[in-house]
Chains A and B, each alone.
Chain A
Amino acid sequence: MERHEPMLSQLRRGVLEYCVLAVLRDGERYGYELVAELGAADGLLTSEGTIYPLLGRLRKDGAVATTWRESTSGPPRRYYSLTARGYDTLERFGGEWTRFRDAVDAILGTGEERWTPSLRSTSSSST
């Protein structure tokens, strides 16, 4: 399916950091692993590098912590893990997201029932 990049980039910007936190909930990851996992989710990550300034900010905000671990190949890697604060943020986002998604679905008619032109005809018939 064809992607509408400008639309997506706005949405992605809003949710990407919570997706990062969600991946880290399952355990610590190093940068490349995180990118690979998020990249596997359709449309979530177009430029892989954009994850790194985001990780930097999450670390600064205290939602994510970094530790250095030896790697089998080459120099040590920085691993990112979820902090208690990050966990709280993720929990709260989960609740907000469900409400938000339901509200948008209800308006677009993209939830349980798909949007159809009949939506327009029902509103005009009521007047």
Chain B
Amino acid sequence: MDAKSSQHLVEQYLKELRAASRGLSRGERRELAAQIEEHIRAALAIMPAPGEAGVREILERLGDPEEIVAEQYGPHGARAGIGAQAVTAIVLLLVGGFLAGIGWIAGVVLLWTSQVWTRREKLIGTLVVPGGLFGAFFVASALLVTSVGSALADRSPAASAARTRRCATWSRIAAAAPRRSSRSSTRSCSRS
């Protein structure tokens, strides 16, 4: 029972350490976790009777995981260093798609060169956020371009010929449909 709760204490501590070191690079994070694990093992090996109290003492002497990370990587870990770059990256990722698309690309570059996020978060930031807004913008602008384009094309003589053909098609379709709708569609065709 005691061994089990000791192990649980260590696991809990390592979990906190992993959480505290989220702002570090993957390599740094792994190294730190391995070092701390090794320390705990070495300390336990030296203890004459390493019970739960012993484990607690070892962990207490190691210190708060947050503090361990902060001592080397800043007051709240590298993660807290959300500076101008990170803020710019977020803004560009969200609305950069409206700056001729280039804004979004710049946002992605800033995102990946930033130290603030983990690789996984960067991947999510690249795929999910623009997939929503940038994608939506892209679709909207594509629709806008085609509708403006066809409106302009409608003024040319060739287009009016095409329109006549379309109207004829519409009339034929409308003829097959119930009366009321056929009348409205022929009326709009004749008016133009």
Given A53-B68, A56-B28, A78-B35, does the pair A48, B63 have CB atoms closer than 8 Å? yes
Bound together, the chains give a CA A53 to CA B43 distance in angstroms of 18
Bound together, the chains give a CA A52 to CA B28 distance in angstroms of 10
B71 and A53: CB pair below 8 A? yes
Tell me what chain B mostly uses at the interface: helix, strand, loop, or mixed.
Answer: helix
- Chain B nearest Cβ from A63, distance in angstroms: 14
Given A32-B42, A78-B35, does the pair A54, B62 have CB atoms closer than 8 Å? no
Interface stretch, picked from A69-77, A97-105, A108-116, is A69-77
Tell me what chain A mostly uses at the interface: helix, strand, loop, or mixed.
Answer: helix
> Is B129 at the interface (CB under 8 A from chain A)?
no
> Is B110 at the interface (CB under 8 A from chain A)?
no
Identify which of A48, A53, A71, A78 contacts B69 (C-beta below 8 A): A53
Given A48-B39, A77-B42, does the pair A56, B32 have CB atoms closer than 8 Å? yes
Bound together, the chains give a CA A77 to CA B71 distance in angstroms of 24
Q: Which size class do B's interface residues fall under?
A: 20 to 34
Q: Digit string of A56-89 for contact with B (CB within 8 Å is 1, else 0)?
A: 1100000000000001011101100000000000
| Interface size counted on chain A using CB atoms at 8 A | 23
> Is B45 at the interface (CB under 8 A from chain A)?
yes
Considering the complex, give the chain A residue whose CB is closest to the CB of B33: A52
Interface centre among A48, A55, A73, by most chain B C-beta atoms within 10 angstroms, is A48
Interface centre among A31, A46, A75, by most chain B C-beta atoms within 10 angstroms, is A31
- Chain A nearest Cβ from B76, distance in angstroms: 14
Q: Which residues of A contact B61 (CB under 8 A)?
A: 39, 47-48
> Is B64 at the interface (CB under 8 A from chain A)?
yes
Bound together, the chains give a CA A30 to CA B35 distance in angstroms of 10
B67 and A47: CB pair below 8 A? yes
Interface residues of B in 22-73 (CB under 8 A from A): 28, 31-32, 34-36, 38-39, 41-43, 45-46, 61-65, 67-69, 71-73
Interface residues of A in 9-66 (CB under 8 A from B): 13, 30-32, 35, 39, 46-50, 52-57
Given A31-B35, A54-B72, A56-B32, does the pair A49, B42 have CB atoms closer than 8 Å? no
Considering the complex, give the chain A residue whose CB is closest to the CB of B70: A50
Q: Which residues of A contact B34 (CB under 8 A)?
A: 78
A32 and B63: CB pair below 8 A? no
Q: Which residues of B contact A35 (CB under 8 A)?
A: 39
Identify which of A31, A54, A56 contacts B38 (C-beta below 8 A): A31
Q: Which residues of B contact A39 (CB under 8 A)?
A: 61
Q: Which residues of A contact B73 (CB under 8 A)?
A: 53
- B residues neighboring A (CB under 8 Å): 28, 31-32, 34-36, 38-39, 41-43, 45-46, 61-65, 67-69, 71-73
The 4 closest A-B pairs by CB, nearest first: A47-B63, A53-B72, A32-B42, A49-B62
